[in-house]
Chains A and B, each alone.
Chain A
């Protein structure tokens, strides 16, 4: 079995969010970059767990990004995976990125894992687009994944619960909490990652379907109205009469 895991690079969860160039560009200044948590903790680690059970499995990682994504992809390789492919392009258009991934995946993978969403642009759309471009079934928001012969048995989120489904390979799956437990790369992994192949390919020509025109920060909160713990009824009154939310 061959698995492709889609890896993206996102600002650290505590990064300061600010913009430059008249609020048209994200301010990279002082920002630490990490592997998008959904891609790392759930998609990649689950793929590694499958390979640990069945060493014949081959795992490829794929990212669409410029050279500054290399440390992220090396870190992912330190966790596991056999080799990585970077498509040398910077874009925030989901369709552009998905088309690049689909081009890489064309050679045939049994399983394509993405994260549920990127924590910067929060599109939650690349997995579905890749699946459509490759004419594959798509199971989104998976919380569990098992392989059983030529079938995948997947638990996915639905509103107010979960659904268990079966689907034959090949399939595209977006991964979230529950799939696997977070891991920390060890020294052996880090050393091994240095010699693993990181292939860089140029993008195919694709026209973007969207463009970010500007960013805004949310308006600042007016400040908290504190109520004494001895006067709880006052809080309920405020919620009822002032905020009108209960």
Chain B
């Protein structure tokens, strides 16, 4: 028996969210007293064996060009071979783009109960119940869900479980399987390079309609650069094309849970909060003392963004000795 963790990669590099999944999975394996093993698909330019420091002993590598782009159907079949190879009783994914695509398929294929977006390790009761906590109602509540099947699948919410690196290398085993022809053909990839992907960012600097227009985002981008942060925005800002759609956070945009979320000129409507309320620390800059966002904030400044933000940037530079 084992816990099998799916290692997600893009352009040959392992994603940060997978390191969280590896830590989560190997911690769970220790609790269950079974081995922690992992599976990675496609070519990789990273040192896969070194991922052993996150607690996995063995990594199955399906090293095939056809697996460099996601076709969930093909990936599901390969991963299910790894499940059989290691006799996995729990399979862990990150609840990221690929995890959301593959885990449900695997769940239906194996008839293995799935909880998506786990925020903590499962609770194992003496009676054998296996209960996983996840955020529901867009972060306004949590549900404890028990998985009632022998084989279980969990996807871990990004930024919910801290990566722990120890010592050790993993044994890398090539997974030789026949790979189906992908039915999905990728014709173009448009990636913003050099930027932290919003879903993986530790720090997010976000701005709303209070900034008046797209020409005023220079100071926001500067702050993001100084902090190594990703930028985000409220829905009306994306709707009016001041900022790209993929920056839209909230109930109908991306839900994120960074360590630090800085909201500038955003009122804090309930639908906006729904996407950011699981951030560990929230800072609000708003000129209206009645802005609802202050109720959800840890730190705040009541003031004009055009005055406060440049001052913050100067203070960050000073702190960092820049």
- A residues sitting closer than 8 Å to B (CB atoms) are 11, 13-14, 17, 19, 37-38, 41, 94-95, 98, 119-133, 135-141, 143, 153, 157-168, 177-178, 208-218, 221-222, 224-229, 232-233, 235-240, 243, 245-246
Taking a contact as CB atoms under 8 Å apart, the answer to whether B277 and A218 are in contact is yes
Contacts of A132 in B (CB 8 A): 73, 76, 104-109
* Known contacts A209-B113, A224-B299, A225-B298; A13 and B270 CB within 8 A of each other: yes
14 sampled A-B residue pairs with Cβ under 8 A? A94-B107, A122-B135, A124-B116, A128-B104, A137-B71, A137-B183, A160-B191, A164-B188, A210-B147, A216-B133, A221-B297, A232-B314, A232-B315, A235-B312
On whether the beta carbons of B72 and A140 are closer than 8 Å, the reply is yes
A159/B15 in contact, CB under 8 A: yes
Q: What's the dominant secondary structure at chain B's contact region?
A: mixed
Which B residues fall within an 8 A CB radius of A?
A: 10, 15, 69, 71-73, 76, 95-97, 100-109, 111-117, 129, 131, 133-149, 183-192, 195-200, 203, 227, 238, 245-246, 248, 251-253, 255, 259-260, 270-271, 274, 277, 280-281, 283-284, 294-304, 307-308, 311-312, 314-316, 318-319
A227–B299 CA distance with the chains assembled, in angstroms = 7
Q: Contacts A215-B141, A246-B260 hold; do A226 and B101 have CB atoms under 8 A apart?
A: no
B107/A125 in contact, CB under 8 A = yes
A176 → chain B, closest Cβ, in Å? 8
Least CB separation from B308: chain A residue: A229
Q: Given the interface contacts A11-B137, A159-B96, A212-B144, does A129 sit within 8 Å of B316 by beta carbon?
A: no
A36 to chain B, nearest CB (A): 10
Q: Find out whether the CB atom of A141 lies under 8 angstroms from the CB atom of B97.
A: yes
Task: Please tell me if the beta carbons of B190 and A243 are within 8 angstroms of each other in the complex.
Answer: no
Contact assessment for B191 and A95 in the assembled complex, using a CB-CB cutoff below 8 Å: no
A-B pairs, 5 with minimum CB distance: A128-B104, A229-B303, A209-B113, A161-B191, A160-B197
Distance of A115 from chain B, by nearest CB (Å): 10
Are the CB atoms of A229 and B302 closer together than 8 Å? yes
A157 to B199, CA, bound (A): 12
Question: Which of B148, B192, B302, B304 is within 8 Å of A160, CB to CB?
Answer: B192
Residues of chain B within 8 A of A221, CB atoms compared: 295-298
Q: Complex: how many Å from CA A166 to CA B106?
A: 23
Contact call B302/A226, Cβ cutoff below 8 A:
yes
Residue of B nearest to A125 (CB): B104
CB distance from A120 to the nearest CB of B (A): 6
Beyond known contacts A123-B104, A136-B73, A210-B148: 6 more, CB 8 A cutoff: A13-B251, A122-B137, A137-B183, A140-B101, A159-B10, A167-B184
In whole angstroms, how far apart are the Cα atoms of A162 and B10 in the complex? Answer: 12
Min C-beta distance of B285 to chain A, whole Å: 9
Q: B114 to A95, Cβ gap below 8 A?
A: yes
The answer to whether B277 touches A213 (Cβ under 8 A) is no
Q: Within the assembled complex, what's the spacing in Å between the Cα atoms of A196 and B252?
A: 29
B77 to chain A, nearest CB (A): 10
Say whether, besides A128-B108, A177-B252, A235-B283, A213 and B146 are in contact (CB < 8 Å). yes
